[in-house]
């Protein structure tokens, strides 16, 4: 299997200028901070594995093990690989908080990493310079807390 992914982080602002001396009702588009990266097995950095799944909380909590993920129902382990991008989206009805796991926490987002996602909010982190912390037996979990059986979408890309 080979994979190719496009990672995009962007905010495009269109400003309508009125009564401009040069051009009446012209538009100015701000998009200079957009980030678009295409990754595959032949890019540097590369991606060799991906996971794409919906995760349901159990009694308002879930530990995500980066060595036990899924892609199309098939088991995926990121053991020994460096994450290239992680996208998390709260599809539940209440806020969720994601932190480095209490046991064998993934510290590649920072040892004190914590993000709270309101309903329908997302979080994207990418490492375009090949400087992510590798997943291992002792650096592999994220803990999620929320409400009941709310769900979280997880997309993750990783490579050597």
Q: Where are the domains of the chain?
A: 41-159
Residues 28-37, mean pLDDT to the nearest whole number: 85
Residues 6+ apart with CB under 8 A from 158: 47, 48, 49, 50, 78, 81, 82, 83, 84, 135
CATH number of 41-159: 2.60.120.770
pTM of the model: 0.87
pLDDT in tens, 33-92: 888 888 999 998 899 999 999 999 999 999 999 999 999 999 999 999 999 999 999 999
Top-confidence residue, 128 or 10: 10
- Measured over the CA atoms of residue 54, residue 55, residue 59 and residue 61, the dihedral's sign is negative
The average pLDDT across 86-105 equals 96
């Amino acid at each position: 299997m080979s994979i190719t992914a496009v990672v995009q982080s962007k905010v495009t602002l269109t400003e309508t200028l009125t009564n401009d001396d040069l051009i009446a009702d012209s538009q100015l588009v701000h998009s200079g901070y957009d980030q678009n990266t295409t990754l595959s097995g032949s890019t540097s950095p590369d991606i060799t594995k991906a996971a794409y799944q919906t995760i349901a909380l159990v009694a308002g909590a879930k530990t995500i093990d980066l060595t036990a993920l899924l892609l199309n129902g098939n088991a995926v382990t990121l053991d020994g690989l460096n994450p290239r991008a992680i996208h998390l989206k709260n599809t539940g009805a209440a806020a969720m908080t994601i932190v480095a796991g209490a046991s064998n926490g993934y510290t590649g987002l920072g040892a004190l990493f914590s993000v709270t996602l309101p309903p329908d909010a997302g979080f994207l982190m990418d490492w375009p310079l090949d400087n992510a912390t590798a997943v291992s037996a002792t650096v592999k979990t994220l803990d999620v807390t929320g409400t009941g059986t709310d769900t979280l979408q997880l997309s993750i890309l990783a490579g050597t």
